[in-house]
Amino acid sequence: MKTITILGGAGMMGQGIVRDLLSDLSIVGIADLRICDTARPRMEAMAAGFADPRISLHDLDVTDPARLAAVIDGADLCINTVPTLLGHQMTIFEAALNAGVDYVDLGGLGTYTVKQMAWADRFREKGVVAVLGVGSDPGLSNVICRAVADQLDTIEAINLYWAAEFKGPENPILCPPYSISTVLAEYAHPSIQFLNGAHVECAPQTGQEVIDLPEPWGRCEFMYSPHSEQLTVPLAEGIAEKGIREFTWKLHLPHREHEAWVGLVKAGFGDFDRPVNVGGVEVKPLDFLNALIARNMAEKADRMPEQDGHEIHFAIGRGTKDGKPATVRCEVTLHPDPIYDGYVDAGTSMNASIAAQLILTGPRKPGVYACEGYFDPEVYFAEGRKRKFDIRLTVEG
């Protein structure tokens, strides 16, 4: 029976991870699920909703080393869902290492990925596992790339994409698909892509590419986005040796939402952490926008129509197989299903839970990894299929 610590466990992603861990799909026996958060009322409401005696509540203060150590010590795994852009990633990462507790996080645009990967020897020497970016993108997306790479003898390029779309009446309310700071950073910050065999910086909203996808996505315009996949996949063991020269990650949000985020960046919200003076008071644009959008969603909830959300993750690899040119495509689609009821972002939450469970039940490999370096795609995909992920792998040529 395992003890799992979830930092930020009462947040949107944390609650989804808890939901999956406690579901009938779980392959881990859990003795104690430590929910750690700064919001005691939200934790209590969450615990009341699940009504599971395995849940214990712990007040979180990541700036207090003793309190942080107390909630991590003795656990079998620490799941870090604290928003990366709050800046606590390395503090939590080091606390898990010091406690000798295996660790996963949700990534966060690759902000700390390179620094964390540089700690591989320290984790290996202490016998601790750390797997970075275990959500949907990164996470599932990395495993997709591993599945593609494994089908090729040599690799020229792997191009990775994610697209979301809604079907139903137009929503007059802007509802962020995930953390507002993450969306703004995706639209406003430069990205690192792997082009011509080297990592290069690309300007925000560049790399536009139009791809016709099946319904409900239709014609989608993709763009480069800052993420961690391009920092790790082309350097991964079993991929780098195959001669890969190009790796890119591109994003497509639903068409009208895309326009809204572009407009917010144009208005200056891309510089979301730099305070602006309003009537003599210093206010961060992000704090204002978070509060405004939350209020708008709460007050106008009755105006939000029922919409079906669809998402597709796919990677296209080009290279050779058995001495002949080959193209490999791996795609995962999620369509509306009752299994996703109660989740804010089932894809991210379920994938994080899958990764955590496979670490706890599979052979341990101490060190620091991205998902493509740790998980076997077939084992991982089997868990995804249990959760109604439609997974397809095709080889042409």
Q: What is the pLDDT of residues 86-114, one digit of tens each?
A: 889 999 999 999 999 999 999 877 889 99
Two structure tokens written together for 28: 């881990």
Nearest-10 Cα torsion for 113, 116, 117, 120: -160
What pLDDT sits at residue 344? 87
Q: Three-class SS of residue 132?
A: strand
Residue 42 · residue 14 · CB < 8 Å = no
Residues 235 and 176 placed together within one structural domain of the fold:
yes
**CATH number of the structural domain spanning residue 263:** 3.30.360.10
Whether 312 and 370 share a structural domain: no
Q: What share of the chain is helix, strand, coil (3-state, %, to 5)?
A: 40, 30, 35
160 with 303, same domain: the answer is yes
For residue 393, the number of C-alpha atoms closer than 13 Å in the C-beta half-sphere is 14
Same domain, 127 and 262: no
What tokens does 123 get? 């984790």
pTM for the predicted model, two decimal places: 0.94
Are 195 and 215 contained in the same domain? Answer: yes
pLDDT at 364: 95
The whole-angstrom distance between residue 21's C-alpha and the CA centroid of its chain comes to: 17
What is the domain count for the chain?
Answer: 2
Are residues 274 and 369 both part of a single domain? Answer: no
Do 120 and 165 lie in a common domain? no
Task: Report yes or no: 80 and 104 within 8 Å, Cβ to Cβ.
Answer: yes
Write the DSSP symbol of residue 340.
Answer: G
CATH number of the CATH domain containing 68: 3.40.50.720
- Regarding whether 159 and 238 lie in a shared domain, the answer is yes
Same domain flag for 209 and 356: no
* pLDDT recorded at residue 111: 84
pLDDT tens for 173-202 read 999 988 898 899 999 999 999 999 999 999
Q: Give the per-residue pLDDT at 397.
A: 85
CA dist 171 and 188 (Å) reads 24
SS3 22: coil
**Same-domain status, 174 and 30:** no
Which tokens is 214 given?
Answer: 């099946």
pLDDT tens-digit map of 231-246: 999 999 999 999 999 9
One domain, residues 47 and 160: no
pLDDT of residue 110: 86
Task: Annotate 33-98 with DSSP letters as a single string.
Answer: EEEEES-HHHHHHHHHHH--TTEEEEE--TT-HHHHHHHHTT-SEEEE-S-GGGS-HHHHHHHHHH
Residues of the chain with pLDDT under 50: none
**335 and 192 in a common domain:** yes
Range of the domain at 206: 140-342+389-396
The per-residue pLDDT for 86 is 80
